[in-house]
Structure 1
Amino acid sequence: MQQPQLLKPPSIFKHFVILITLQLQEIPIVSLSPCRSFCGSVPINYPFGLDDGCGAPQFRHMFNCTNDLFFQTPSGAYKVQSIDYDKKSMVIYDPAMSTCSILQPHHDFIMTDVQSAIIPPSQDTVFALLNCSIDSPVLNHYKYLCFNFSGHSCNELYGSCNAFRVFHLLTNSSPPCCFTSYNTVKFMSMNILDCTHYTSLFNTDGLRGVGPLDWIYGIKLSFSVPDTGCEKCRKSGGACGFDTDTEGLLCLCSSTTNSTLECAAGTGSMMASGQSNAPRIFYQLAMILGSFVYMVMKFISEFEL
């Protein structure tokens, strides 16, 4: 009777090494980046960053994360409701802004020159200036700055919104108002405009035939993404960032390791953007160990025969 061919110990070791190699190839490379990738439920991706040195330097110090994400401007902190990275837009809400349901003291919406250049309000965001005096510049020399959007008029706001109806009641008429673009409030303050309140709304192209009670109030900003070639950095497990002293571009590989282009192989293999990869790794290691024990037991049983 022919004896079964036994695996020699070196053969077992060789099989074990091959098995480990195949299993580890299935574990994805993920990032040890020092940059936070979420604030609450809002994802934070390039070109934005919460931690100094993360994202693009043009957007440095523009965001603040407490329990929610806020966009910082000279006129205040505005809660970020959503970010659409595909459409390159961000919706913010002014908590001190008047809406159809609440009337609040007027104030200005002010952005820095840099913000106005790289993340301005979108073309489909409209600012409604309310309760303007008859001497308001937008009703005289600059009346061309006012327009009706999607067939709507100022009278709709005064007639439909409880918050704005008070202006009609006080004067027994509809005081002037003005639908205008961001550029108007960018160059003229509310005091210069001589209007007591403002509200803003967006996605105006889809509001034809929709009453003020159902308008989408807030400010939609449009941003551009600097082309710095950071895709190579992301694929290597890093995050695009910059040197906080020189603002030169960097690939952030870990809290202690940076590169100019991409991370070295293996520097990002334990944790992904704040989410632990440990369950997957432990599962793979358990499978490897189980296979090795099986091979050893099989060898012992065949050797005893």
Structure 2
Amino acid sequence: MQHPLKHHLTLTLLALTSLSHFPPASPLTPCRTLCGTTAINYPFSIDDGCGAPQYRSMMNCTGTDLFFMTTSGRYKVQSIDYNKQTMVVYDPAMSTCSILQPHHDFVMTDVESVVIPPSSDTVFALLNCSIDSPVLNRYKNLCFNFSGHSCDELYGGCNAFRVFRSFTNSSPPCCFTGYDTVKYMSMNILDCSHYTSFINVDGLKGIGPADWVYGMKLSYAVPDTGCGRCTRSGGACGYDTETGVMMCLCSTSMNATRECGKKLILD
């Protein structure tokens, strides 16, 4: 019969040997990194206190869908390109070539307009404008030629927009313009009944509106806060929710100012 002490030592050695085959535990940061299949990386976050404070409360994860939040609604995130620092969103209340939606404004907060505005290759089309519209009179310089496309092409090539020609058998005025126009003037002031927007406009010459990509591409900058040092140490970049001071979030019970230490308290 084996001595009890020897038996205990044998079991202890076996347990230690087994543990040595498992990789060391990694820090459990309080920041989620996925919404559905969309990666959530710095500077964005879906948890308060994570990411950069400039982008606080801009993202919402509902089920498997990620939304960009503004004062005028929720805009579904189609994709995020972290290399090019762009995000494509879609306005579910926006008119497109295939559907005519009720009157709607696209409004961003002052902070959003600065840190993540629509990119230069996003064009807004103001549709069914009155002849008294300011963009056709005093501010007509805000309208520009868009890759040789015309209002007639939009009204004739899109099933949803043909209704605008049904009463007069002619195309009402429209205006191709940039984000700054809809930023400073509402649809009521613009005196246009609907709008649509499309992206990657440099590649749309000679392509009909039925094949345009409808949505908005937003361009953002990544704050330089030394975030790489934090992530390399196993943490996630975040901030103090009261002061806005950047922090390295190492676990749900331990944070650091720059990087996570070698010994972390795990929950």
C-alpha distance in 1 between matches for 2:265 and 2:165 = 63
2:40 is aligned with 1:44: yes
Is the Cα–Cα contact under 8 Å of residues 251 and 266 in structure 2 kept in the other structure? no
Measure how far apart 1:172 and its partner are.
1.0
Is the Cα–Cα contact under 8 Å of residues 46 and 56 in structure 1 kept in the other structure? yes
2:254 is aligned with 1:257: yes
Give matches, 1:1-305, under 5 Å.
Answer: 27=23, 30-67=26-63, 68-267=65-264
C-alpha distance in 2 between matches for 1:118 and 1:28 = 39
Measure how far apart 1:27 and its partner are.
3.2
C-alpha distance in 2 between matches for 1:61 and 1:96 = 21
The code of the aligned residue for 1:35 comes to C
Q: Kindly name which structure, 1 or 2, has the bigger radius of gyration based on alpha carbons.
A: 1
CA deviations on 1:18-42 (whole Å, 9 max, x unpaired) are: x97xx67x93774411101011111
TM-score (norm 1): 0.79
C-alpha distance in 2 between matches for 1:213 and 1:83 = 24
How many residue pairs were aligned? Answer: 255
Q: Which has the higher contact order (CA 8 A, sep 6+)?
A: 1
SS at match of 1:103: coil
Is the Cα–Cα contact under 8 Å of residues 253 and 266 in structure 2 kept in the other structure? no
C-alpha distance in 2 between matches for 1:28 and 1:37 = 21
C-alpha distance in 2 between matches for 1:85 and 1:167 = 40
The code of the aligned residue for 1:248 comes to V
The code of the aligned residue for 2:61 comes to C
The code of the aligned residue for 2:48 comes to D
Is the Cα–Cα contact under 8 Å of residues 237 and 267 in structure 1 kept in the other structure? no
Measure how far apart 1:171 and its partner are.
1.9
SS at match of 2:156: helix
Q: Equivalent pairs: percent with the same residue?
A: 69
The code of the aligned residue for 2:233 comes to S
C-alpha distance in 2 between matches for 1:255 and 1:269 = 8
C-alpha distance in 2 between matches for 1:238 and 1:48 = 15
SS at match of 1:157: helix
In the alignment, structure 2 segments of 5+ residues that lack a partner are: 1-9
Further displaced range: 112-121 or 65-74: 65-74
CA deviations on 1:85-123 (whole Å, 9 max, x unpaired) are: 000000110000000000011111000010000000000
Measure how far apart 1:269 and its partner are.
8.6
CA deviations on 1:130-152 (whole Å, 9 max, x unpaired) are: 00000000000111100121111
TM-score (norm 2): 0.90
C-alpha distance in 1 between matches for 2:26 and 2:92 = 38
Is the Cα–Cα contact under 8 Å of residues 129 and 177 in structure 1 kept in the other structure? yes
The code of the aligned residue for 1:44 comes to I
CA deviations on 1:24-70 (whole Å, 9 max, x unpaired) are: 7x937744111010111111000011111000000111111112111
Is the Cα–Cα contact under 8 Å of residues 254 and 265 in structure 2 kept in the other structure? no
C-alpha distance in 2 between matches for 1:224 and 1:157 = 33
SS at match of 2:166: helix
Q: Structure 1 residues 212, 28: closer, same or farther in 2, change over 3 A?
A: farther
SS at match of 2:202: helix
In the alignment, structure 1 segments of 5+ residues that lack a partner are: 1-12, 271-305
C-alpha distance in 2 between matches for 1:170 and 1:256 = 66
SS at match of 1:201: strand
Is the Cα–Cα contact under 8 Å of residues 59 and 69 in structure 2 kept in the other structure? yes
Instruction: Could you list the structure 1 runs, at least 4 aligned residues long, displaced by more than 3 angstroms after superposition.
Output: 26-31
Measure how far apart 1:267 and its partner are.
2.6
Is the Cα–Cα contact under 8 Å of residues 238 and 251 in structure 1 kept in the other structure? yes
C-alpha distance in 2 between matches for 1:226 and 1:86 = 14
